[in-house]
Amino acid sequence: MASSTTPRLVTVFGGGGFIGRYVVEALLKAGARVRVAERDPRKAWYLQPLGSVGQFAAVAADLRRPETVRRALEGANAVINLVGVFDGDLDAIHVEGAKHAAAEAAATGASAFVQVSAIGADQASESNYGRTKGLGEQAVRDAFPNATIIRPSVVFGPEDEFTNRFASIARFPFLPVIAPDRNFQPLFARDLGRAIAAAALDPKAHGGKTYELAGPDVMSMRDINRRVAEMAGHRPEIVDVPDFAANGLSMLGFLPGAPLTRDQWIMLQKDNVASGSLPGFKDFGIVPTSLDAAAPEWLGRFRKGGRFAPRAT
């Protein structure tokens, strides 16, 4: 373990992904040493310039292989698990994998463990994603009782598959919207990264707690699509997809390239907003960034003439 004068070492499982880059950025800015654990560590090499010499490392690890998890945690003061999937063996990743990581973190003497879950995580959920995320939370708590659980709403950022997908579709005259009345509280990836890093670096303040992190605005799926289209310089006609049609479409979700899986449709039956009964960004001293404040930075590239073209009034 690090001495009182040695920067803390944080192992980040899944640190090379979309959310991971912002977590790693925040950790490095705070002066921590970061070890990103990925099945293919080459996916994380792009993060190295964010840190000083010796501050960043990437190692090969797979949550489904406990021996690789153990090696990735050697000497770590804190551990963050960002790994999540929407298809494949969700139990192996969200439940067994999270359990292995938490158990090994406890065995090696780490003082902090942060499990990134999701709003809607529930062991009784009809959704396989929500169910396994809920079971994963319990598995982590059993292995590492002082773990911090973070449940974010849908996350947006320059590299997301959320706003960018909607903006791309908005180029067409008609913009079909599935579950148009479902509500979300989209949050900015950089805000989420800062909160996750803070939880790992200060277990005395955040250990043992469960947080729901959401953006400042509750927005329907219809509103999100409309705003994204406007920021991308397009004004398509919004077309609500009837529930019976979306339900039928989800039945074909097993096909390659299908726009909606059955599990995603099940998740869309409930709003994805903070309950208000759990702590949130305020406890981290973070004022969440709105979609309108951040998204124009990258959605401008979808406008005719590119991001530097004048905006329509």
Instruction: Looking at the chain, list the stretches that DSSP marks H as alpha helix, in order from N- to C-terminal side.
Output: 18-29, 66-72, 90, 98-107, 128-143, 163-169, 189-201, 203-206, 221-231, 243-250, 262-267, 291-294, 296-299
pLDDT of res. 253: 74
Per the model's pLDDT, the better-predicted residue between 258 and 282 turns out to be: 282
Domain CATH code at residue 201? 3.40.50.720
- Determine the average pLDDT of the residues in 3-8: 70
pLDDT of res. 3: 47
- Is residue 234 included in any domain, yes or no? no
Give the chain's mean pLDDT. 93
DSSP structural state of residue 287? -
Distance CA 263, CA 241 (A): 18
- Determine the average pLDDT of the residues in 99-104: 97
**Dihedral of the alpha carbons of 45, 49, 51, 55, in degrees to the nearest 10:** 50
pLDDT > 70 in the chain, percent? 94
- pLDDT above 80 for 313: no
Work out how many domains the chain is built from and give that number.
1
- Determine the average pLDDT of the residues in 87-108: 96
Task: For 239-276, write each residue's pLDDT tens digit.
Answer: 999 999 999 989 887 766 677 899 999 999 999 999 99
Phi, psi angle pair for 58, to nearest 5°: -125, 135
- Determine the average pLDDT of the residues in 53-69: 94
pLDDT of res. 1: 46
Question: Which domain covers residue 199, as residue numbers?
Answer: 9-159+184-217+272-288
pLDDT of res. 221: 97
pLDDT > 90 in the chain, percent? 88
- Is residue 259 included in any domain, yes or no? no
- Is residue 194 included in any domain, yes or no? yes
- Is residue 207 included in any domain, yes or no? yes
Helix, strand, or coil here: 60?
strand
Distance CA 113, CA 105 (A): 7
Handedness of CA 224, 282, 111, 95 (dihedral sign): negative
- Is residue 106 included in any domain, yes or no? yes
| Cβ contacts of 130 within 8 Å, gap of 6 or more | 118, 120, 121, 122, 267
DSSP structural state of residue 87? S
- Is residue 143 included in any domain, yes or no? yes
> pTM of the full predicted structure?
0.93
Distance CA 171, CA 205 (A): 46
pLDDT of res. 303: 86
pLDDT of res. 259: 75
- Is residue 248 included in any domain, yes or no? no
Task: For 143-197, write each residue's pLDDT tens digit.
Answer: 999 999 999 999 999 999 999 999 999 999 999 999 999 999 999 999 999 999 9
